[in-house]
Amino acid sequence: MDYFLMLISAIFVNNILLAQYLGNCPFLGCSKEKGVAFGMGAAVIFVAVMATAFTWIMQKWVLEPYGLGYLQTLVFILVIAALVQFVEMFLKKMVPPLYKALGIFLPLITTNCAVLGIAILVQRKEFGLGMSLYYSFVASLGFTLALMLMAGIRERLIIARLPKSLQGTSIGLVMAGLMSLTFFAFKGMIG
């Protein structure tokens, strides 16, 4: 598939968060400030691409040849959990500045449905390894974009006068809905 088309599709038309519903918990929790949002987004890109690589290899070299396809969910989540542990330890020892920036987000990415979701999605779409890595990268970019946009909006919402019931997650969700609506406009771009 055309690479540019996939880029546009993954970021705007089929945004992993705003259109495919993956990655909502960190989205609403980490989007209060732009700095935190960028950290979470970067961590997701980092982990998602690596997770896709390892899970793809597991699927093609271990699960399928031995007829263990039904264990996909179990094996994938274990791979992701182990990967995140190793990355944390590695960063802590080898690249402390990066660890300081991304470290706190890493444990939460284990249960981030975006990471596991992307890993399973590329299997369902039957992508090759290169295409899977590319897709995971652009999809996570889309996630980061949505996160940054949301952070920008919410930084301004804090000083707005909202009724107490609407504050926090509620207005966040309504904002996400309106953002999702604007992204809908991109659907006409492709095909």
Partner 1 sequence: MRELINMIVVLSLISGASGLSLAYLKEVTAKPIEEQVLLNVQGPAIKAVFADAENDPIADRKKFDTAEGQITVFPAKKGGKLTAVALEAFAPGYGGQIGVMVGIDMAKGTLAGIGVTTLKETPGLGMRVTEAKYQKQFKGLALDKVGLSGKGGTVDAVSGATISSTATVVAANKAIEIYKSLKPKLEGAF
Partner 2 sequence: MSIVKEFTKGLWKEIPPFRLVLGLCPTLAVTKTASDGMGMGAAVIFVLVLSNVIISLVRKIIPKKVRIACFIVIAASLVVSVELLMQAYAYPLYQSLGIFVPLIVVNCIILGRAEAFAAKNPVLLSAADGLGMGLGFTLSLTFLGALREIFGYGKLFGAEVFGPAFKPFTFMIEAPGAFVCLGLILAAMNYLAIWQSKRAGLPEPDVAVSCGGCRACAIGESKQIIQEG
Phi and psi at residue 149, to the nearest 5°: -60, -45
Tell me which of 65, 70, 94, 159 binds partner 1, using CB under 8 A: 70
- The minimum distance between CB 71 and partner 1, in angstroms, equals 7
Whole-angstrom Cα distance, residue 151 to residue 56? 32
65 binds partner 1 (CB under 8 A): no
Per the listing, tokens 């089929």 go with 14
Q: Does 74 bind partner 1 (CB under 8 A)?
A: yes
Q: Pick one of partner 1, partner 2, none as the site partner of residue 11 (Cβ within 5 to 8 A by kind).
A: none
Torsion-angle region of residue 163: left (phi > 0), alpha (psi -120 to 50) or beta? beta
CA-to-CA distance for 36 and 30, rounded, in angstroms? 6
Closest contact distance (angstroms) between CB of 70 and partner 2 is 6
* 181 counts as binding partner 1 under rule CB under 8 A: no
CA–CA distance, 41 with 145 (Å, rounded to integer): 8
Residues 39 and 82: beta-carbon distance below 8 Å? no
Out of 10, 48, 116, 133, name the contact with partner 2 by CB under 8 A.
Answer: 116
Task: Give the C-alpha separation, 82 to 76, whole Å.
Answer: 10
Q: Which residues bind partner 2 (CB under 8 A)?
A: 18-26, 28-30, 36, 39-40, 70-74, 76-78, 81, 88, 104-105, 107-108, 110-113, 116-117, 120-121, 124, 163-178, 180-181, 184
Instruction: State the residues that interact with partner 1 by CB under 8 A.
Output: 1, 70-71, 74, 125-126, 190-191
